Structure 1
């Protein structure tokens, strides 16, 4: 769905009853195969009516046909059990709709679920869908692809393409770390020119990220970042040396308290990236388009583009929401 054809709709009340629900679970996600049969009965025990259940075994082949059909009737609630990659495909279809997302993070890193403050335990995540609240969150668009959390260029694209599915299922996030360590041995740095609104920055690095959400690799990007803050955050993970990537990754994992005005971050509502050679884009764990010298990556934030169930303790970062409640 393009920005021109998206519908503008009124959001449901923040604590309005949810349902009936359509359930979509990716059985290939790390925990989806073992847990998918529990989702619908557990929702109904919590008072959420379930109108349909779809268990997906090949998301790339099944979702392009399934999601438009499911959403054609504008269900009030779409419950998705998956990892970040499947969710990236879902938000392409949810952007700008009145349908509320109830998300069950069943994947490997679950960055989007963490950005939403969702518990990773299935029963607790189901409680949020049934008894939490509905809030608008931002989505970002990289070309024609909507995404919730992060688009990246460089090493992560190789990792996304090389990490075996079975390894992710058995080792979890460690599978990505092991694959990244091997890929880094031969990976070549690239030069990128990043323009965020009216500021331009040039860097030579192995990894560049543009985030809409607040979590990368299971760790907060910045202490004050949020998936509803109306901002994108661009940052390089290390410089041209391979050792700098390792140290930057360690720093990221151990110092999530840095604010967005820290010198390593560039923020804006639109981020444009040019690279000195053609590279694949990693959009929430899925390889999509390319960026290069003659093919810029342009990322734009769309504030409040999706309605989602979150815990009552979810901290709003939207400055307009804070103004209304102050």
Structure 2
């Protein structure tokens, strides 16, 4: 995609040139409600967007992102939930443009992994007080992702969680929806091969994380979106009761009571096999099946982050 500027040069260009394009998913109630405030706050912070795209048809997201990138902005500001931002990541990856994140979703996992303020004024302020950083991406099969590839209960939850429940309960809607699915869900056996070692486990839920957050809660304190490693972990064991208890703890306290089945499995590349073969939810897209190879793409994406973000 061409030569990339140094991060310091890119940061200076964003702060002084302020050449930005803005895409906001206005299909959701929150996006529609906040869009005028997004424009007003950007202008109050000294940004006059080259182009503004209030998007009310998700089918036009890909074409809209490409149109915005054709204007050659230094910063592409995207407002929406993790699904919208995941689509943006695929378009911005490996380009000489930084992604500016406006966290307008329910869980905002990607924004949390970047250490961004979750309030709109705070997130926008980062565009002129923060810096450009290069972060890692994951790639599952041929699909790049920012945050998470997951297998098991969560794939069903993603398809069944009600939009009205997300509006009312926020991130708690996901574990509570899981409670309705778990009583009939069958455990599966997973085999993860990393650096020549094959790990076997029986579980209802397996996640392979590039980012630090899942469902709006931190997976572990020492996970980073910029350390060149993926982290695999199971939620619960093969026993429904254990997973039910962990899900309830998660819904009521936002904390992990445990990471069942031993330590994390950490590596730069993982081969995942399951019995039976299973669908993969890759940052909200369910299109791949196991067996699948998942690996990191170091420094695959430019993003605007707070100045305190540790960029390795």
Q: TM-score, normalised by structure 1?
A: 0.87
Classify the secondary structure of the residue corresponding to 1:244. Answer: helix
Q: CA deviation at 1:70?
A: 2.1
Query: 1:97-149 CA distances to partner (integer Å, 9 max, x unpaired)?
Result: 11111101110011111000011111111111222111111111112221111
Q: Which runs of 5+ in 2 are unaligned?
A: none
Q: CA deviation at 1:272?
A: 1.4
Partner of 1:139: 137
Between the two proteins, the alignment pairs up a number of residues equal to 304
Q: TM-score, normalised by structure 2?
A: 0.90
Q: CA deviation at 1:253?
A: 4.1
Deviates most, 31-40 or 81-90: 31-40
* Conserved 8 A contact 2:269-2:293: yes
Q: CA deviation at 1:167?
A: 2.2
Rounded Cα–Cα distance in structure 1 between residues aligned with 2:219 and 2:138: 16
Q: Which runs of 5+ in 1 are unaligned?
A: 1-5, 319-326
Q: CA deviation at 1:257?
A: 11
Q: Are 1:308 and 2:306 matched, yes or no?
A: no
Q: Are 1:276 and 2:275 matched, yes or no?
A: yes
Partner of 2:244: 246
Partner of 1:26: 25
RMSD: 2.2
Q: CA deviation at 1:280?
A: 2.1
Normalized per residue, the structure richer in helix is 2
Partner of 1:265: 264
Classify the secondary structure of the residue corresponding to 1:140. Answer: strand
> After superposition, where does 1:130-279 map in structure 2 within 5 Å?
130-249=128-247, 250=249, 253-255=254-256, 263-279=262-278
Rounded Cα–Cα distance in structure 2 between residues aligned with 1:152 and 1:30: 27
Partner of 1:102: 100
Rounded Cα–Cα distance in structure 1 between residues aligned with 2:77 and 2:6: 17
* Conserved 8 A contact 1:68-1:93: yes
